[in-house]
Structure 1
Amino acid sequence: MQDDDIVAQWAERVRAAAADNRPLQLRGGGTKDWYGQTLGGDIFDTRAYSGIVSYDPAELVVTARCGTPLTELEAVLAEHNQMLAFEPPHFGRGATFGGSIAAGIAGPRRASAGAARDFVLGATLMNSRGQILHFGGQVVKNVAGYDVARLMAGSLGTLGLILELSVKVLPRPAAEATLKFSMHGSDAVRKLNEWCGRPLPISASAWRNGTLAVRLSGADTAVKTARYMLGGEVVDAVEAERFWEGLREQTDPFFSTIPPKAALWRLALPSITEPLQLPGAQLMEWNGAQRWWITDTDAQTVRISAKQAGGHATMFRSGPSFERTAGVFTPLPAPLMKIHRGLKAAFDPARIFNRGRLYPDL
């Protein structure tokens, strides 16, 4: 089937669903079905609309369709020694480009490179009327006013059906090295904030069980100089790659130990926050700004603790017996929720796309 035929067929299906008030569950590879509130509605498979539309390595911009396999896109970028700098996790085989942006989840490099939304330049979207909407473009300096395209990052498909996305890519670093240090959590927080205030090529960091790992990325001379300045033990390159991939994909042993009555929480906190003295296993990333916490503590206590520290908490995964009635995402203040409802009404007036995926009343 031709691409135009696919889009026309999709528009017809969307209009029919809107007319019948029948919700649609937008789904690519399904590798992130567990993320967000409980899914519902008829599955709308986006993988048929696939392929790279345009790619100009000299301009560091790629445009691809929603159903493009993430592995395929990354392989094409790698041929030109380039990458998606926010290191989107796959969380399994079959992950799609559209799904990675819709989820808005970034990997270990996020603290130095930026979030998924920071790389979105343009988006083509289908609303619940079956209309095709275009936002942004394919150059960095193309935004005047509200940057609508970046709303797609982290929207979990609640605003509309993403058809195409243009994103900025970056060159792969010429050199990388990972160092590890034996260090208490409080010392790790202080050291990371001290080091990040200096011109060091730190691209990722992680602390757990008394060990701090730091990844250096950049020019060969810069990496060698930083290795000399920081000291520590150099990790074998193969072992280091396996470690950072394990964090990105959550295949690391830390993430496989969620008890049936516990949950994995992602806390976004000021990077200077001391390790929280709370029960359960903890892992710090992003120079201390992201904390993973496995605990059977109730949701209210977790969210109060995060708020008191100046941040918020997301219930990322949970054991089969954990009570999820508190919601996955931190409840929004009334003014922010009003904005969310306004955006939902503007893009999805029929309220058929991934209904309730972010919040039950959206």
Structure 2
Amino acid sequence: MAAIEQFRDQVRAAAAGKRPLRIRGGGSKDWYGGLLQGAILDTRVHTGIVDYEPTELVITARCGTPLAEIEATLAERNQMLAFEPPHFGEHATFGGAVAAGLSGPRRANIGAVRDFVLGAQLMDGKGEVLKFGGQVMKNVAGYDVSRLLVGSLGTLGLLLEVSVKVLPRAFAETTLQFQMSEIEALRCLNEWGGQPLPISASCWCEGVLALRLSGARAVDAAVVSLGGTVLNDADAFWTALREQQHAFFKGDAPLWRLSVPSTTSAIVLGGPQLIEWGGAQRWLRADSAAFDVIRRAAVAAGGHATLFRGGDKSVGVFQPLAPAVARIHARLKDAFDPAHIFNPGRMP
């Protein structure tokens, strides 16, 4: 294809001149990760759904395909991207969603982006097209490189095409709300998580716990069992949460993302928090000057902290890697991108 040749020429010229390239789709997540640099390599010229087999629950699309187009196509067959990737803008692309590796409210109960990726095509730093995985669940012998690319923010190469598993939409969904404290909400979420309840999302903020139930007849039984108040217009609530348009996310204070075990009790860090994923994901509004305290608290809980949006990126966006892990990352980067031209500085 002409787009592939265009990419190859741009990559090889950049490698020869050791000039950085900034891989970019719709630019909806430009703020995520480290500081941006390099000439833009625009993926939107490589677009389109390559293959979609509703009966096989698999869709394959090119990197520049609008994420909204993917979701609309799936909706026609009553299917969905189960990991609910956030768009963060109307121009979000499929490749960008996979490269960012961000999942929405359903992640804790259904799985992350990485869990649904079956295969990928990648252009490496030499301009070569590499293929990993395939279009079925059991297709990998050895290291699963296609899933390694998820969340790599384009630092290993240019994602050209990705195949992902999709799921049917739930037959029924109901969202319940409960008035309770943070500690009480964490206790309930862990207690309910050990029961056969059709929970598909949770959110606690400012004394209110929202719990989404998805399925069929099990939803009605769970509503009777749990009580609470039914939330009207629940779809709008969960979409606003996924897109960070919820009132908690408004304002200029730096936004931190803490990933910790769901059983972790309340973490007091001097700023308002919103808790998702049964307690495993905690959003914090706090000054980036407190990064040492925030990161120590996350590590002490057995997790890590990311300066997700805003603030002073010089403190480091991502939690520093352990030396052994950092060496693995460096070797991978050398293997896929010998000249280190792809998205330098975007992540460790």
Tell me what 1:14 maps to.
11
User: 1: distance between equivalents of 2:209 and 2:334?
Assistant: 46
Q: Is the Cα contact below 8 Å between 2:7 and 2:41 reproduced in 1?
A: no
Tell me what 2:270 maps to.
279
Task: Return the match for 1:192 from 186, 189, 193.
Answer: 189
Moved more, 33-42 or 8-17: 8-17
Alignment partner of 1:244 is 2:235? no
Cα deviation digits, residues 41-79 of structure 1 (max 9, x gap):
001100010000000000000000000000001000000
- Per the TM alignment, residue 257 of structure 1 is displaced from its structure 2 partner at its CA by 2.5
Q: Is the Cα contact below 8 Å between 2:28 and 2:87 reproduced in 1?
A: yes
- Per the TM alignment, residue 6 of structure 1 is displaced from its structure 2 partner at its CA by 1.3
User: 2: distance between equivalents of 1:255 and 1:302?
Assistant: 18
Tell me what 1:201 maps to.
198
User: 1: distance between equivalents of 2:193 and 2:133?
Assistant: 32
Tell me what 1:339 maps to.
328
Aligned residues: 347
Q: Is the Cα contact below 8 Å between 1:159 and 1:347 reproduced in 2?
A: yes
Aligned CA RMSD, in angstroms, stands at 0.8
User: 2: distance between equivalents of 1:99 and 1:33?
Assistant: 10
- Per the TM alignment, residue 309 of structure 1 is displaced from its structure 2 partner at its CA by 1.3
Instruction: Using structure 1 for the length normalisation, give the TM-score.
Output: 0.95
- Per the TM alignment, residue 93 of structure 1 is displaced from its structure 2 partner at its CA by 1.1
User: 1: distance between equivalents of 2:54 and 2:9?
Assistant: 36
Tell me what 1:64 maps to.
61
User: 2: distance between equivalents of 1:258 and 1:105?
Assistant: 21
Tell me what 1:231 maps to.
227
Q: Is the Cα contact below 8 Å between 1:201 and 1:226 reproduced in 2?
A: yes
Instruction: Using structure 2 for the length normalisation, give the TM-score.
Output: 0.99
Matched residue SS, 2:176: strand
Alignment partner of 1:91 is 2:88? yes
Q: Is the Cα contact below 8 Å between 2:125 and 2:338 reproduced in 1?
A: yes
One-letter amino acid matched to 2:323 = A
Tell me what 2:248 maps to.
254
Q: Is the Cα contact below 8 Å between 2:34 and 2:313 reproduced in 1?
A: no
One-letter amino acid matched to 2:280 = A
User: 2: distance between equivalents of 1:149 and 1:72?
Assistant: 22
One-letter amino acid matched to 1:213 = A
- Per the TM alignment, residue 130 of structure 1 is displaced from its structure 2 partner at its CA by 0.5
User: 2: distance between equivalents of 1:323 and 1:39?
Assistant: 14
- Per the TM alignment, residue 243 of structure 1 is displaced from its structure 2 partner at its CA by 1.1
User: 2: distance between equivalents of 1:350 and 1:257?
Assistant: 40
- Per the TM alignment, residue 278 of structure 1 is displaced from its structure 2 partner at its CA by 1.9
Q: Is the Cα contact below 8 Å between 1:258 and 1:294 reproduced in 2?
A: no
Matched residue SS, 2:314: coil
Task: Return the match for 2:31 from 6, 31, 34.
Answer: 34
One-letter amino acid matched to 1:116 = V
- Per the TM alignment, residue 229 of structure 1 is displaced from its structure 2 partner at its CA by 0.6
Tell me what 2:126 maps to.
129
Tell me what 1:351 maps to.
340
- Per the TM alignment, residue 323 of structure 1 is displaced from its structure 2 partner at its CA by 2.9
User: 2: distance between equivalents of 1:139 and 1:323?
Assistant: 43
Q: Is the Cα contact below 8 Å between 2:269 and 2:294 reproduced in 1?
A: no
- Per the TM alignment, residue 324 of structure 1 is displaced from its structure 2 partner at its CA by 2.5
Cα deviation digits, residues 97-136 of structure 1 (max 9, x gap):
0000000000000001101000000000000111000000
Tell me what 1:330 maps to.
319
Matched residue SS, 1:330: coil
- Per the TM alignment, residue 298 of structure 1 is displaced from its structure 2 partner at its CA by 1.4
Matched residue SS, 1:13: helix
Cα deviation digits, residues 253-310 of structure 1 (max 9, x gap):
1001233xxx110000110111112211101000000000001251111101111111
Q: Is the Cα contact below 8 Å between 2:120 and 2:132 reproduced in 1?
A: yes
Identical positions, percent: 61
Tell me what 1:290 maps to.
281
- Per the TM alignment, residue 344 of structure 1 is displaced from its structure 2 partner at its CA by 0.4
Tell me what 1:144 maps to.
141
User: 2: distance between equivalents of 1:256 and 1:209?
Assistant: 14
One-letter amino acid matched to 1:314 = T
Matched residue SS, 1:251: coil
Q: Is the Cα contact below 8 Å between 1:36 and 1:358 reproduced in 2?
A: yes
